[in-house]
Amino acid sequence: APSTPSNFIRQIIDKDLDSGKHSNIVTRFPPEPNGYLHVGHAKSICLNFGIAQSYQGVCNLRFDDTNPEKENPEYIESIRNDVEWLGFQWPGEPKFASNYFDQLHGYAIELIKAGKAYVCELTPDEARQYRGNLKEPGKDSPYRNRSVEENLDLFDRMKNGEFEEGKMVLRAKIDMASPNMNMRDPIIYRIRFAEHHQTGDKWCVYPMYDFTHPISDALEGITHSLCTLEFEDHRPLYDWLLDNISIECHPQQIEFARLQLNYTVTSKRKLKQLVDEGHVTAWNDPRMPTISGMRRRGYTPAAIRRFCDSIGVAKANSTVDVAMLEAAIRDDLNDNAPRAMCVLNPLKITIQNYPEGQVEQLSAPLHPQKEMGERTLPFTREVFIDKDDFREEANKKFKRLVLGKEVRLRNAYVIRADEVIKDADGEITEIICTHDPDTLGKNPEDGRKVKGVIHWVSATESLPAEVRLYDRLFLDENPDGNKEKSFLELINPEALTVVKTARVEPSVAEGQPEQGYQFEREGYFCIDSKDSQPDQLVLNKTIGLRDTWAK
212 annotated among ligand-binding-site residues: no
Between the two ends of the chain, the Cα-to-Cα distance in Å is 32
Selecting among 146, 171, 268, 472, the annotated active-site residue is 268
If we measure between CA atoms, which residue out of 229, 192, 207 comes closest to residue 65?
A: 207
258 annotated among ligand-binding-site residues: yes
Among 4, 27, 44, 462, binds ligand ATP (CB under 6 A): 44
Q: Is residue 227 part of the contact set for ligand ATP (CB under 6 A)?
A: yes
- Which residue in the shown chain puts its C-beta closest to ligand ATP? 40
Number of Cβ within 10 Å of residue 495's Cβ equals: 18
413 annotated among ligand-binding-site residues: no
Dihedral, CA of residue 529, residue 508, residue 326 and residue 388, to nearest 10: -120
Cα(378)–Cα(459) distance, integer angstroms: 10
CB nearer ligand ATP, residue 32 or residue 418: 32
The separation between CA 251 and the C-alpha centre of its own chain, rounded to angstroms, equals 28
Among 6, 267, 353, 497, binds ligand ATP (CB under 6 A): 267
Interface size with ligand ATP, residues (CB under 6 A): 15
If we measure between CA atoms, which residue out of 164, 168, 187, 184 comes closest to residue 176?
A: 184
Cα(198)–Cα(270) distance, integer angstroms: 26
CB nearer ligand ATP, residue 241 or residue 254: 254
CB 124, min distance to ligand ATP, A: 22
10 annotated among ligand-binding-site residues: no
Is residue 268 annotated as a catalytic residue, yes or no? yes
Strand partners, 383: 349, 458
Q: Is residue 268 part of the contact set for ligand ATP (CB under 6 A)?
A: yes
Among 22, 139, 192, 258, binds ligand ATP (CB under 6 A): 258
CB nearer ligand ATP, residue 267 or residue 443: 267
Q: Which residues are within 8 A (CB) of 273 and not within 5 positions of it... i.e. 6 or more apart?
A: 279, 488
Rg (CA), the chain: 31
Stretch that binds ligand ATP, among 97-105, 239-247, 259-267, 389-397 (CB under 6 A): 259-267
Helix, coil or strand: residue 204: coil
Is residue 258 annotated as a catalytic residue, yes or no? yes
71 annotated among ligand-binding-site residues: no
Q: Are 328 and 310 in contact (CB under 8 A)?
A: yes
CB nearer ligand ATP, residue 95 or residue 173: 95
> Count of residues for the chain?
551
CB nearer ligand ATP, residue 301 or residue 378: 301
Selecting among 70, 80, 258, 405, the annotated active-site residue is 258
CB nearer ligand ATP, residue 213 or residue 375: 213
CB 193, min distance to ligand ATP, A: 24
Cα(317)–Cα(315) distance, integer angstroms: 7
Helix, coil or strand: residue 149: helix
The separation between CA 495 and the C-alpha centre of its own chain, rounded to angstroms, equals 17
CB 282, min distance to ligand ATP, A: 17
Q: Is residue 175 part of the contact set for ligand ATP (CB under 6 A)?
A: no
CB nearer ligand ATP, residue 67 or residue 336: 67
Strand partners, 516: 526
Q: Is residue 57 part of the contact set for ligand ATP (CB under 6 A)?
A: no
Q: Is residue 80 part of the contact set for ligand ATP (CB under 6 A)?
A: no
Stretch that binds ligand ATP, among 263-271, 284-292, 446-454, 518-526 (CB under 6 A): 263-271
Q: Is residue 228 part of the contact set for ligand ATP (CB under 6 A)?
A: yes
Cα(119)–Cα(115) distance, integer angstroms: 11
DSSP E strand stretches across 115-182: 117-120, 169-172
179 annotated among ligand-binding-site residues: no
CB 227, min distance to ligand ATP, A: 5
Read off the DSSP letter of residue 290. Answer: B
If we measure between CA atoms, which residue out of 284, 303, 306, 280 comes closest to residue 294?
A: 284
64 annotated among ligand-binding-site residues: yes
Q: Which residues are within 8 A (CB) of 282 and not within 5 positions of it... i.e. 6 or more apart?
A: 275
Stretch that binds ligand ATP, among 85-93, 128-136, 156-164, 266-274 (CB under 6 A): 266-274
Cα(541)–Cα(498) distance, integer angstroms: 10
Cα diameter, the chain? 104
CB 204, min distance to ligand ATP, A: 24
Selecting among 32, 110, 121, 477, the annotated active-site residue is 32
Among 259, 351, 417, 527, binds ligand ATP (CB under 6 A): 259
Residue 516 dihedral angles phi and psi, to the nearest 5°: -95, 150
CB 314, min distance to ligand ATP, A: 11
209 annotated among ligand-binding-site residues: yes
CB-side neighbour CA atoms (13 Å) of 524: 28
Residue 137 dihedral angles phi and psi, to the nearest 5°: -65, 155
CB nearer ligand ATP, residue 235 or residue 268: 268
Number of Cβ within 10 Å of residue 44's Cβ equals: 21
Dihedral, CA of residue 339, residue 344, residue 345 and residue 349, to nearest 10: 20
Q: Is 457 exposed, middle or buried (0-12, 13-18, 19+ CB in 10 A)?
A: buried
Site string for ligand ATP, 20-39 (x = CB under 6 A): ----------xxx-------
The separation between CA 541 and the C-alpha centre of its own chain, rounded to angstroms, equals 16
CB nearer ligand ATP, residue 228 or residue 336: 228
CB 319, min distance to ligand ATP, A: 11
Q: Is residue 43 part of the contact set for ligand ATP (CB under 6 A)?
A: yes
CB 134, min distance to ligand ATP, A: 23
CB 225, min distance to ligand ATP, A: 9
Q: Is residue 264 part of the contact set for ligand ATP (CB under 6 A)?
A: no
Binding residue numbers for ATP: 32-34, 228, 258-259
- Which residue numbers belong to the known binding site? 32-34, 64, 209, 228, 258-259
Binding site for L-glutamine, residues?
64, 209
Q: List residues near ligand ATP by CB under 6 A.
A: 30-32, 40-41, 43-44, 64, 227-228, 258-259, 266-268
Known catalytic residues are 32, 258, 268
